[in-house]
Amino acid sequence: MSSREAPFVTSLGHAGLRIETSRVRVLCDPWLSKGGAFLGSWFPFPDNSHLATKQMLDCDWVAVSHEHLDHLDLDLLPTLPDRVRVVIPRYPSGVLRGRLARAGVRNVIEVGAWERLQLNPGGDWLTVIPEQSPMCHDAAILVVVNGFAIMHTNDARLTVSQGRRASEEVGHQLDLMGVQMSGASWHPICYDYPSDVSARIGADKRRSKFRAVVRMLRGVRPRLVLPYAGPPCFLDDSLRRHNLQMREPGVFPHQGQALTWLQERIPEQSALCLLPGDAIELGSEAVTRSPEWADFSLDDCDDYLDRYARQRSDDISATYARYPDPPSGSALYERFEDHFMRLGGMSNYFLERIGMTVRFEVAGDAGGTWDVRLGPDGVGVDRAKGRLASYGFAVEARWLDAVLTGEIRWEDLFLSLRFSAWREPDLYNDYLVGLLKHADPSALAAIEEYETGRDPDDMVVLRDRTRDRDVAVSRYCPHAGEDLSESAVLSDGVLRCLGHNFEFDLESGECLNARCSPLKVRPLAPSRT
């Protein structure tokens, strides 16, 4: 490798990377704006605003993996020179491209799955690797410069086979693989659970995330691993309690905790932690540490977060000013009703699989308690009259109003954690969340096509070691189509899909923790020694 110019990879904080050689400069998912993301809720941890310099942002290309605002910095991207080209994956809907266009970003190039985009005449290129199921519009970005391969996985939950194919595409072992090991979830922390139940669910989610990454790394075996993409921190006084999720067993583990887990489980795998401004030269693997962090500790950070919150107080106040509480005469209920009637006309497939009443408890002068019935008979919206609901959201009118006006999306509101929720029975309904998250007919149709196109008779034999038997199950998870030959863990009669943590009973095939079609199962005879 010494005969080739090695690229420098600089951490921009969170999931942001800068990849640089003498002939190309690429930014991946830069998130540097001081106003945070998701209604002034999330902020990078630690602070990376010192990197928003002309020199650091001088680039030829920006790759944006998906529309989550901790990856899609709509304040930063419009300020870049017109010559900078912004690359995005080609998703089933045009939502990501539309958000960029509305922000004033024009030089946008969409790239299809595994399609190579040449970055320069020298042969450098990149491609995108979307998740297999279109239920989530997430994608990894593979960048190859001077023959060095950098896999920027961000939030994408790839299969092991996709990771292996990336190595095949470049013709050798991946040189650097960034892996997301911190959650981006409002469950369980926004739900009405007792503290011990919330802690147990959070611990399970943390371990499942870590285990899925370990399984990926054991299958792909990159030369070097970089845990990143979190955690966020919360600087608004009303949300500061969520910073406790950085500690065990919370759902927002920091990079140091992720690195320790990797070193303990796969000690043969080289891995490192880079803070914002730290850089590594691939090939030599020489690391340059930013002096910014000389006295900083990821673990002992309470004083740091206090100072950080004071520095961002004006930005947080600006968020509240931008989204005022709508007055009682603002017809919020009527607009809410119109919104859900429009959503309900987008996909009968989704309505059939939701099949519930969802209650919205909206605080503020224009608020109230409103029910939305979503099911095979269509959609109905009315003011609550005591009927039972299966799902409930409590939210301030100011944040709901921002969704109804189209200034933010439901996913932005959910990730902001500026709401609370309950459900009875306590089963996840991916179709309800999917309808709200996408709110786009093309995206919903792509999911229906994907899910109905799978062969239900394709089976795979898996080993339940705790019960000393083999079990034949549907090859593809009924939820999002993960290949269970790679993503399943069996224990005590339960199959857990590591893709999204859906659990299935190995006797009945029923999903145990979400509303989902059953898994087809066929127990086989116990093995004989």
Q: Can you give the pLDDT at residue 3? A: 66
- Global pTM reads 0.87
Q: Output the pLDDT for position 529.
A: 43
Which sequence spans correspond to the domains of the chain? 8-311, 332-449, 459-526
For residue 288, the surrounding DSSP H or E stretch is strand 286-288
Q: Are 271 and 224 in contact (CB under 8 A)?
A: yes
Give yes or no for a contact between 380 and 374, defined as CB atoms under 8 angstroms apart.
Answer: no
Tell me the CATH number for domain 8-311: 3.60.15.10
Q: Can you give the pLDDT at residue 528?
A: 47
CB 190 within 8 A of CB 198: no
* Nearest CA among 44, 24, 22, 26 for reference residue 34: 44
**Same fold for the domain at 8-311 and the one at 332-449?**
no
- Bridge-based pairing state of the strands 286-288 and 356-363: unpaired
Residue 259 and residue 14: Cα distance in Å, rounded? 15
Residue pLDDT tens, the chain, 529 long: 446 899 999 999 999 999 999 999 999 999 999 999 999 999 999 999 999 999 999 999 999 999 999 999 999 999 999 999 999 999 999 999 999 999 999 999 999 999 999 999 999 999 999 998 899 999 999 999 999 999 999 999 998 889 999 999 999 999 999 999 998 889 999 999 999 999 999 999 999 999 999 999 999 999 999 999 779 999 999 999 999 999 988 999 999 999 999 999 999 999 999 999 999 999 999 999 999 999 999 999 999 999 999 999 999 999 999 999 999 999 999 999 999 999 999 999 999 999 999 999 999 999 999 999 999 999 999 998 776 899 999 999 999 999 999 999 999 999 999 999 999 999 999 999 999 999 999 999 999 998 887 777 778 888 777 777 888 898 888 877 777 876 788 888 898 887 677 899 888 889 998 878 888 888 676 554 4
CA 373 and chain centroid, separation:
28
Other C-beta atoms closer than 10 Å to the C-beta of 164 total: 17
Q: Which CATH superfamily is domain 332-449 in?
A: SCP2 sterol-binding domain (3.30.1050.10)
- Within 18-90, where are the H helices? 54-57
- 3-class SS of residue 108: strand
How high is the pLDDT of residue 77? Answer: 98
pLDDT of residue 50: 96
- The token duo for 339 is 């919104």
For residues 270 and 225, the answer to whether their CB atoms sit within 8 Å is yes
